Structure 1
Amino acid sequence: MFKVAFDLDVDDSGWPPVSVERLWGEKTDVKFEIRVVNTPFFVRGISFGDLVRVRADHERRELVYDGFTTASGHSTVRIIFMRGEVRQQVEQGLREAGCSWETAGGFPNLLAVDIPPGVSYRELRRWLLDRVDSGDIEIQESSVSALHQGG
């Protein structure tokens, strides 16, 4: 397992709140190619299982993202809780849909959600948007796979 640094552009409003996100990856048979094995919080366009090229940055002493290679079919959505009392209900709905998620200690109201290829994103998205409309959550579709876009 390797950590891969993804440099981020912070906009004028200060988003994202970090300038680098480091994701776990595992080596493939291709030199300088890594399979991402966690769900990003702030990196856009990358999902669990995607293959990416990396390069060694000797000055920084780390592997750095160098380009996208192959999509895994997974999608990534971020959920921001506007009302904490709905968290358990939202997590239960995600679990029932077949999704997993990650949390970050520094961002307690944020979930990075992995949507596997076999999940009906159309149904899940409709369910999430109902919660957006009620003011419970906000969502950001960070990386929607071609498979899920078609659904």
Structure 2
Amino acid sequence: MMNSAATTHVRVVFELEQDENGWPPAGSERLWAVPAGPGLVRLDNIPFFARGVACGDVVRVEADAEGTVWAKEVVEFSGNCTIRVVPDRDGDLEGDLNTVLNLFAPLGVEGEGLERFGLVALNIPPAADLAGAKRLLVEGQDGWWDYEEGCVTEVWRVLDPG
């Protein structure tokens, strides 16, 4: 029997620009999405490496001759933020990805860990405790982790975590 998700989801490829250190560790990232209209998809998972996009964003796509679906541009932002957290292996959390996820869960934040790279991708929806999440991120830089903002809203940018 075929899984209904397999028939409704498509893989969308995002080209990635690597820095001088070779990060991110790939030239592209594939994200799951659901069709949202002609030439449009709604992202259905949290990006680990792609910048400027978040789960729930609507993206214009184009398929090439081989059928690969390529992301072109975001046409509607979801209001979600994508934050990537790398727990310090030598720090208090000893690099544990699940501990990071468990610390953010009570704030209405969901995420996913990528053990291979010691990385957690967080999806912070507008209904989450934004101030609490930002405060935790900032405070966690003191011995727990480093983080980067992959895609944030204006509300997030101006938020004082104090």
TM-score with structure 1 setting the length: 0.89
Q: Mapping of 1:2-151 within 5 angstroms?
A: 2-28=10-36, 30-59=37-66, 61-83=67-89, 84-85=93-94, 87=96, 88-107=98-117, 109-133=118-142, 135-151=143-159
Asked if the contact 1:37/1:48 (under 8 Å) is kept, the reply is yes
Q: Which AA in structure 2 matches 1:53?
A: R
Aligned residues: 147
Aligned partners of 1:11, 1:56: CA distance in 2, in Å? 27
Question: % of aligned pairs identical?
Answer: 33
Q: Once superposed, what is the RMSD of the aligned Cα atoms?
A: 1.6
Aligned partners of 2:47, 2:105: CA distance in 1, in Å? 18
Question: Which blocks of at least 5 consecutive residues in structure 1 are unaligned?
Answer: none
**1:112-132, Cα deviation, whole Å (9 max, x unpaired):** 100011013222111121110
Asked if the contact 2:86/2:95 (under 8 Å) is kept, the reply is no
Aligned partners of 1:82, 1:105: CA distance in 2, in Å? 13
More strand by share: 1
TM-score with structure 2 setting the length: 0.84
Question: Which blocks of at least 5 consecutive residues in structure 2 are unaligned?
Answer: 1-8
Asked if the contact 1:36/1:51 (under 8 Å) is kept, the reply is yes
Aligned partners of 1:20, 1:105: CA distance in 2, in Å? 18
Compute the displacement of 1:86 (Å).
6.3
Asked if the contact 1:40/1:47 (under 8 Å) is kept, the reply is yes
Asked if the contact 1:73/1:146 (under 8 Å) is kept, the reply is no
Which structure carries more relative contact order (alpha carbon 8 Å, separation 6+)? 1
Compute the displacement of 1:31 (Å).
0.5
